Chains A and B, each alone.
Chain A
């Protein structure tokens, strides 16, 4: 499964300096938790804010996630990814859960007004790529084609399912899934090679 870059990614995970802090957090060390907080809270807030598009809700979810990190510290498994990715994953999942229950209701109304999908994407894209994380996200996603990038941004930063993306773009679900898969594989390979995300000091 892993190509030439796999080993590099493994190595990178193995030396996550936060893993050692997590072991101390698991023993109830609050200073260590402070270190972990400072390292991961900005990412968790960025992702929850992108998905929720509501700053106070994003803060609320970020608080929940960081307290989950504290609560589950002893169960954190370094072999299953970095602390940052772990916390970001929990944050994304919670934000998505929250927004989907709201969106399910909204979309029933939206469906009446056809053609609004594009506007929605532009909104997400604007928020994520300009207001929020412009240079970083752009750089990380430069290896993707425009269509892949659109699908990945709508799914991850927009919190959309492939079915929702399909409806909004007017593109069949299998096509959306292919774009997502290909885009995410490209992102994964780029990270393993250390490019282009690592070159953020332009």
Chain B
């Protein structure tokens, strides 16, 4: 029990009761990933809290609620187990809400970064802007939007999808936005497009028609300048529009290759699609 007077370990019990401000909570999560003692503590404090919550509240859950939940099961596909290799110790101890929150937070940062980059709230009247954003959102949510119930159940995913759609709107709405078709696209890549804004320094891939990467592999994005390729993030496949990571800077083109899962430092295969950027 020593060492409780502050410091990173000291955040854990406060994290367990969700009593931290967002920045502190992020620090606690970062610490938990690397501290087995605190993960154990988190589990025990949560266990103690749950034990203190009444088993039999004054008003028991209604029969109607149970019936609604049971009826909704048909609309909620179950997730497959995480492969052990993919589940780091810290996230295994967390409800996977945290993962989606982290993802959403990342997208939020990205979006506000895009906003901070200039042209705040500016909207080009071009019709394709809206169409494109809607298309991106549809692509992202496609796997999730299974029924009318989706709106509730998939809030996390939808939120993150909205962030991507927002990023797309930002990029596509910039005055210098370019819409670039794939060139020399391999099979399945002919309809994919990249939207890029040099003033915002952002680019987005809208992978229409693209299939999921084969298992054990991933699609990887690159900014190509001359004969150098800079990694710009990986994405699994058709289900996800992707905001390229890193700034466009002076890139001549965006390219996509198929890489081993986890991605590569430099491309190890011929691009399946190249999107030339004009200066």
Contacts and interface: CB of A to CB of B under 8 A. Distances in A.
B81 A26 contact: yes
B128 to A, nearest CB: 33
Given A63-B69, A70-B76, A163 B51 contact: no
A137 B48 contact: no
Contacts of A174: 6
Given A42-B55, A43-B55, A131-B58, A185 B77 contact: no
Contact of B77 (A13, A71, A178): A71
B261 interface: no
Interface residues of B, number: 60
A182 B13 CA distance: 9
Contacts of A53: none
A198 B80 CA distance: 36
Contacts of A160: 19
Interface in B26-64: 37, 40-41, 43-62
B68 interface: yes
A83 to B, nearest CB: 10
B54 A187 contact: no
Given A75-B81, A81-B47, A140-B52, A155 B57 contact: no
Contacts, number: 214
A62 interface: yes
A81 B58 CA distance: 26
- Chain A interface mostly: helix
Interface string B69-85: 11011001111111000
A45 interface: yes
B227 interface: no
A85 B10 CA distance: 21
Given A73-B78, A93-B18, A161-B20, 11 more contacts: A30-B70, A37-B66, A60-B152, A71-B76, A72-B95, A74-B81, A82-B50, A85-B46, A93-B95, A191-B47, A191-B48
Interface of B: 1, 4-6, 10, 13-14, 16-21, 37, 40-41, 43-62, 65-66, 68-70, 72-73, 76-82, 87, 92-97, 152-153, 155
